[in-house]
Amino acid sequence: MPMTHGQKPTACLALADGTLFHGRGFGATGVTEAELCFNTAMTGYQEIMTDPSYAGQIVTFTFPHVGNVGVNPEDDETQDPVAAGMVVRWNPTDPSNWRAADTLGAWLAARGRIAIGGIDTRRLTRAIRAQGAPHAALAHDPDGNFDVEALVARARGFAGLEGMDLARDVTCAQSYRWDEMRWAWPEGYTRQQAARHKVVAIDYGAKRNILRCLASAGCDVTVLPATATAEEVLAHAPDGLFLSNGPGDPAATGDYAVPMIRDILDKTEMPVFGICLGHQMLARALGARTVKMNHGHHGANHPVKDIETGKVEITSMNHGFAVDSQSLPDGVMETHVSLFDGSNCGIRMTERPVFSVQYHPEASPGPQDSFYLFERFAAHMNAAAERVDA
């Protein structure tokens, strides 16, 4: 519920331009600062908060009913929330869902994430669209004591995401195998026991459901840290290379990711597939540029057109940087575009089985519009194996 007259606010959101929003805090107490973005999805708040791509960001949810189905361990995309904080219109109600294992507030508190409710999220969203993703500080104090000048100063002191390599912060510490497949009724999550392809997945901040989709497409997946070298990748003798989603500035992560990808492309003919930050890493490795967007794309209702087929997919997106399609070199073509703003959403090499997309095909908002991309990756590996056998 929004704040009512006479209630003392227990949370404060301060923007770098001095704008203040007061509301009711829930989750953890304390202060955090980050870039402020908005997400238009109607469901999936737990997956959004645990998506490593949201590192360094506070998420404003435009849909007012957030938290009403609670939380459960199966919906985490990584072990703990990665987004810095949460902004919502209505305070979460008690959960009403058979899968709920805890309340959103208790879950956030246990994991050190601050949230604020009772905010005019429509006004805040308009401000983000008008001025770009602002830097913000979010404070929660049950006693309602706020030093607003200090909060504004913290917001202004936030370094911003440009130039930040956040993939190192969210990547795995060591390699591991993955064989869990997508959830299916009535078995739930099952294990891949008849894999046809060995895939190395580079973890720039990988979501679990991406790895499940790879396993469901017949892949035996080995996950390597973001800083893995080409030699470390090739030591696993993979049939294909997957480049995951992740946070931060692709130019900064590219300092070590781009040389690795170029080495793989120079030394092998193996299929390569990238998603989100992985898409941007591949584009930069091929010679294209990436640029910071005004307020980015964050939501589960983004229409994307496949230029080659003319089909439109309803996609999930979370990115604040984009590939500059005007910078694509010869031999690389644009395959998908956003129907919201025309920005690039996919590329492929014209002569090799190397491709990537900006959106998240594993998130299934369509719901199955984009799973063909995982099947395409598997088909490329099948074709490569047939050429070797021939």
Nearest to 242 by CA among 258, 221, 263: 221
Q: Give the C-alpha separation, 350 to 353, whole Å.
A: 8
Q: What DSSP string runs through 207-222?
A: -HHHHHHHHHTTEEEE
- Could you report the per-residue pLDDT of 13-68, keeping only the tens digit for each? 999 999 999 999 999 999 999 999 999 999 999 999 999 999 999 999 999 999 99
Kindly report whether the peptide bond that precedes residue 186 is cis, defined as omega within 30 degrees of 0: yes
User: Using one digit for the tens of pLDDT, what is the confidence trace for 196-225?
Assistant: 999 999 999 999 999 999 999 999 999 999
pLDDT band at 366 (very low <50, low <70, confident <90, very high): confident
The model's pLDDT over 242-266, given as tens digits with 9 standing for 90+, comes to 999 999 999 999 999 999 999 999 9
* Element of type H or E holding 42: none
- Say whether 167-389 and 11-157 share the same fold: no
CA dist 16 and 247 (Å) reads: 22
Judge contact between 219 and 195, C-beta under 8 A. Answer: yes
Instruction: Answer yes or no: is pLDDT of 5 > 60.
Output: no
As a whole number of angstroms, the distance between CA 326 and CA 21 comes to 39
> Could you report the per-residue pLDDT of 57-69, keeping only the tens digit for each?
999 999 999 999 9
C-alpha to C-alpha distance for 207 and 180, rounded to whole angstroms: 13
Residue recorded with tokens 């669209």: 129
pLDDT attached to residue 363: 86
What pLDDT was estimated at residue 3?
55
Phi, psi values for residue 47, rounded to 5°: -65, -35
Measured between alpha carbons, how far is 221 from 354 in angstroms, rounded to an integer?
Answer: 18
Strands across the sheet containing 272-275? 176-178, 219-225, 197-203, 240-243, 272-275, 354-357, 344-349, 332-338, 290-306, 312-323
Q: Which residues are catalytic?
A: 276, 360, 362
Q: What is the pLDDT of residues 301-322, one digit of tens each?
A: 999 999 999 999 999 999 999 9
185 or 338, which is more confident?
338
The average pLDDT across 148-160 equals: 97
Cis peptide before 367 (omega within 30 of 0): yes
Quote the pTM value: 0.96
Q: What's the whole-number mean pLDDT along residues 85-90?
A: 97
**Alpha carbon distance 76, 227 (integer Å):** 24
Neighbouring-strand partners of residue 30:
140
User: For the chain, which residues make up each domain, given as ranges?
Assistant: 11-157, 167-389
pLDDT digits (tens, 9 = 90+) for 100-140: 999 999 999 999 999 999 999 999 999 999 999 999 999 99
Phi, then psi, of 28 in degrees rounded to 5: -75, 160
| Position 2 pLDDT exceeds 70 | no
Long-range contacts, 123-129 (Cβ 8 Å, 24+): 124/13, 124/21, 124/36, 124/38, 124/60, 124/87, 125/38, 125/60, 125/62, 127/15, 127/19, 128/36, 128/37, 128/38, 128/60, 128/295, 129/294, 129/295
When pLDDT is cut at 50, 70 and 90, the band that residue 367 belongs to is confident
> According to the CATH classification, is domain 11-157 in 3.30.420.10?
no
CATH number of the domain located at residue range(s) 167-389 in this protein:
3.40.50.880
92-96, 171-175, 273-277: range with lowest mean pLDDT: 92-96
Where does 28-126 show beta strands of DSSP type E? 30-39, 57-61, 85-87, 114-117
What's the pLDDT score for residue 223? 98
